[in-house]
Amino acid sequence: MPANRFYTSLFATLLICLSSPAEARESARDNYNTYCIQCHGMQGNGMGLNIRDMSVQPRDHTDAKSMGGRSDAELFKVIKEGGFAINKSILMPPWGATFSDNEINDLVQYLRSLCKCKHGG
Amino acid sequence: MGMRSMLFLLLVFTVLVTPAKNRAYASDGMSILKAQCASCHDMQGPAPATLAALWQRKGPDLFYAGNKYRQAWVERWLQSPKRIRPSGMFYRDHIRPGEKRDVVDVATLNEHIRLNADDAKSVAVALATMKANSSLVSAEKHDPNLSPGPLGEMLFDKIYGCMACHQIEPGFGGLSGPEVYTAGKRLKPEFMLSYIRSPQAWDPKIWMPNKHVPDMNMQKIVNYIMDLSKEDWDAGK
């Protein structure tokens, strides 16, 4: 029935809206410059404010060689679930409660612009 | 008049006068808060829901101060305020690139105003009445017996990586979050439990992630933080 279908899609839309942790979709640049730079640095080079006493140093996001070794899917996973999820340091925390999946996808693209690189080269 | 009746009168007097006195302190405190604190601290809520609003925030939100701070600490601290956040309220506003890493630009940090003893007491009483998010703290039960012992630092540093952003002693640890070596004196344990459980429930845009710490380890981390506070960090300064 059309009415039923209407309510089903309305419900689905609502569910999608409500499942996103952040109300508004912030730009990747703004998110990076609020959350990531505390460790990865104002210039994205891994030289953040917090690194002096860290046992594992944060990734240099401008390093095309190391960033090119990661697929977009891996970058998505490490942002959402943390370093542990890809067998890297727990010092990289999971940001799944902070960013929506859309925001994480945007961040992955932003990282590609910082390293000027793609997966595998 | 016998000793017993004098004691009775004293008791009646105390019971009658104390709430009225507290109300007077609270009302004085509210006036001071409105006049001197509201330009930097939000006393209404809700917490910033966008980055633009987050960046505007000049001091910690106070609309849940009664659920967050220990009143005695507030009263002491306001008379002799000492920086808790090494890089200010929003760290990005107070850092610059340095030779080996980004560094705090100390010249950009502001001092907190200092209150006299009477005003500090009034403000502490008033803040204790500001209790947004009570359901979050009443959902927590602190167990002081779950001591991590010598493993506390390992939990805080190696297992959950909290030290990346928080100092566990003066000059040791990260700088983008508030120091934790004084947090046990400053914060209520139920607040710490609730905040670790979900920083976003208190402050949706805060730059502290939810690390999904299991209940038992949350208790141990909070007790580790309480242990850190037993040391007198200002001694010898």
Contact status of A49 with chain B (Cβ, < 8 Å): yes
Mind telling me how many Å the CA of A4 is from chain B's nearest CA?
34
ipTM of the complex: 0.90
Helix (DSSP H) and strand (DSSP E) numbers for chain B: 11, 4
Could you give the CA distance from residue A55 to residue A119 in angstroms, rounded to a whole number? 27
What are the tens digits of pLDDT across the range B21-33? 888 888 999 999 9
User: Residue B92's closest chain A neighbor by CA?
Assistant: A34
> Which residue's entry shows tokens 């920086």?
B83
User: Residue A92's closest chain B neighbor by CA?
Assistant: B161
B95 by DSSP, 3-state: which?
Answer: strand
B104 by DSSP, 3-state: which?
Answer: strand
Phi, psi for residue A54 in degrees, rounded to 5 = -85, 135
**B residues 191-210 closer than 8 Å to A (CB):** 198-200, 204-205, 207, 209-210
Q: Residues A26, A32, A36, CA angle at the centre, nearest 5°?
A: 135
Residue B99, CB half-sphere, CA atoms under 13 Å: how many? Answer: 0
pTM exceeds 0.80 for this model: yes
What are the tens digits of pLDDT across the range B166-187? 999 999 999 999 999 999 999 9
* Cβ <8 Å between A23 and B204: yes
